[in-house]
Amino acid sequence: MTIILGLTAILVLLSYLFYKPIRKYSKILYLFAIILGIISFLQEITIINLGYVGLSFFLIVMFMGVLEKSEIKKRLMGNRAEYAILGTIFSAVHGLKFIVFSIDFYFFWDAPINFYLGIVAFIICTPLFITSFMWLRKKLKGKTWKKLHQLSYLFYLLIALHLILITNQRMWFYIGIFSTYFILKGLTVYQKGHPQIRKQTIERKTA
């Protein structure tokens, strides 16, 4: 839990301070992430192949969409695509590591449910990952891209279940984090459907 919160805080700070360089040198960062991922894949246990780094990136990507408008949100949103891509790269290392491990130790077809939920989440994440690259996003119609990326909510739900069903000492932390996100997301959707309520909320905060 401490590792995840620490990594998340560092990534938020980096995006806040260096959001323009992160966007400008994103390709270099992707290459660096791939190299780190390969090294981590070949190691026995690291914070990358355990999934902590990928999760930290995705927690930021998730909560960007439910934060109130502010300078912090503006800067974080400037790196949302980059953080989603980096999160997917590091999460892929985690997923592939455990798939290979399950095959090596002959339990792929006899694994707990959270293992298969993780695989489904990874499959759903693949088209989201591919279409997060700006050059491909520009080739899609805006409505098509938005409809496709609505799958991200299913991805977040599957990740939540994947983590919670592991039932380790971090279970309640994951329940708290993802419950907070889905409640905030629900409120955001409700307020969009009821503009007058959103207006009243903003007026109370600025009063």
So what's the pLDDT on residue 90? 97
Whether 204 has a pLDDT exceeding 60, the answer reads no
CA distance 90 to 36: 9
Tell me: pLDDT of 156 over 80: yes
Domain extent for 157: 2-206
State how far the Cα of 25 lies from the Cα of 15, in Å rounded to an integer. 13
pLDDT above 90 (res 206): no
Rg (CA), the chain: 18
When divided into structural domains, the chain yields a total of: 1
Question: What is the model's pLDDT at position 115?
Answer: 95
Judge whether residue 193 has pLDDT over 80.
Answer: no
Higher pLDDT pick, 86 / 67: 86
pLDDT tens digits for 108-130?
A: 999 999 999 999 999 999 999 99
Per DSSP, helices labelled H in the chain are 2-24, 26-42, 52-64, 71-77, 80-104, 113-130, 134-137, 142-148, 151-164, 171-193, 195-206
- Asked whether the predicted pLDDT for residue 196 surpasses 90, the reply is no
Query: Rounded mean pLDDT of 46-65?
Result: 95
Whole-number Å distance between alpha carbons of 80 and 75: 9
106 pLDDT exceeds 60? yes
Q: CB under 8 Å to 152, separation ≥6 — which residues?
A: 128
Least Cα distance to 61 among 28, 27, 90 occurs for: 90
Residue 146: exposed, middle, or buried by beta-carbon count in 10 A (0-12, 13-18, 19+)? exposed
pLDDT above 80 (res 197): no
Residue 207, pLDDT > 80, answer no
CA-closest candidate to residue 57, choices 14, 98, 99: 14
User: Rounded distance, CA 62 to CA 57, Å?
Assistant: 9
How far, CA to CA in Å, does 153 sit from each of 32, 122, 128, 159? Answer: 28, 13, 11, 10
pLDDT the model gives residue 150: 92
Average of per-residue pLDDT across 3-14:
95
Q: Find out whether 60 and 76 touch, Cβ atoms under 8 Å.
A: yes
Q: Is the pLDDT of residue 140 over 90?
A: no
